[in-house]
Amino acid sequence: MGNMADLALVNLTSPAVLFFGLGLLITLIKARVEFPGGVSDFITIYLLTAIGFKGGAAIAQAGMSSIILTILGAIFLGLIIPIYSFYILWRIGKLKSDDAAAIAGHYGSISVVTFMAAAAFLTNMQVHYEGYINGLPAIMEVPAIVVALMLAFWAKQNSAGESLRKDVSLGQVAKNVVLSKSVVLLLGAMVVGYLSGPKGMESVEFFYKDMFMGILSLFMLEMGMIAASKLRELKRAGIFIILFGIITPLLNGLLGILTGVFVGLSVGGATLLGTLAASSSYIVAPAAMRVSLPKANPALYLGASIGVTLPFNLIAGIPLYYSMAIFFNKLFS
């Protein structure tokens, strides 16, 4: 499975992870560093469109027929992960159905930041991966959130002590998710990349490829600051949520890697699919849950997602998923 210490060192010394650590330190020592709103918005828009565009161009180059199994595998992960996550949180963790559904939706959905960090890790390791994998984040965002909300509605209908919230329909929820900024930019840029193809990518290669890692480092710096600000909320969340935030990514990552191997992805591709499955959302999911499940406690789903799972994946998860991908690729080849 490779030398885990060496893999962890490669990941921990990458600029993206080091800037994330710097962001943690800045907040913990209470230094006065803030990102202007306009700069933060630009960085987010840039990264989302870059990922979507590169994914669309890669899909055009590969051909839709050759990647249909990968797309189906990604959709499968987006559907199944929130289902068992919900039951773990609701039945074992004894959380309220709203809280269980909100957290399950976050873990069924994905983190673009974790995905980008994993791609950077593979680039540093000079490991090949299928370029069209860049289009999967947009595909996996929506199903998980809709499934989680359906489970919340079902749980309320079957619980005598809770009344069903009737003023929010699943259709409206799906519409809100699809029209959210991150999904619109990812899907829209992916369509643009697909239509323009590899030639289109050549014309913007400097902007979307050469500048990507530098802008990603700034984004990771801000994410580190945000993650550190959520650490206090974990004290109120309890040990179960902390354990869930560590163990669940490992289970989800394993399922994602096995799915990647099954659909024929390379080691690098299976690593990225496993990383997507192991990650948890903090952009689309929080916005959707705030509207659809207003009674859910943000301290629980944001504390687990940003305070536990994001740092865990960046520090230890990514090299572990890579080692697992190598192992299972050899096992089933």
CATH number for the domain that contains residue 80: 1.20.1530.20
Q: What pTM does this model have?
A: 0.79
pLDDT in tens, 113-141: 899 889 989 998 999 999 888 878 877 87
Inside any domain, residue 278: yes
Strongest mean pLDDT among 132-136, 147-151, 167-171, 285-289: 132-136
Would residue 298 count as lying in a domain? Answer: yes
> Cβ–Cβ contacts within 10 Å for residue 175, how many?
11
Quick check: 160 pLDDT over 60? no
Domain presence at residue 332? no
Nearest residue to 142 via CA among 187, 193, 188 = 187
The per-residue pLDDT of the chain, averaged, comes to 84
Does the pLDDT of residue 85 top 80, yes or no? Answer: yes
Count of domains for the chain: 1
Q: In this structure, what token pair is assigned to residue 17? A: 């992870």
Is residue 124 situated within a structural domain? yes
pLDDT for position 302: 78
Residue 94 lies in domain: 4-221+233-327
For residue 174, the model assigns a pLDDT of 64
314 assigned to some structural domain = yes
**For 18-56, what is each residue's pLDDT tens digit?**
888 898 899 889 898 888 878 888 888 888 888 888 888
Q: Given this model, what pLDDT does residue 162 score?
A: 45
C-alpha torsion 165→168→169→173, nearest 10: -130
Question: Would you say residue 333 lies in a domain?
Answer: no
Higher model confidence: residue 282 or residue 140?
Answer: 140
Give a yes or no: residue 266 inside a domain: yes
Instruction: Specify if 226 maps to a domain.
Output: no
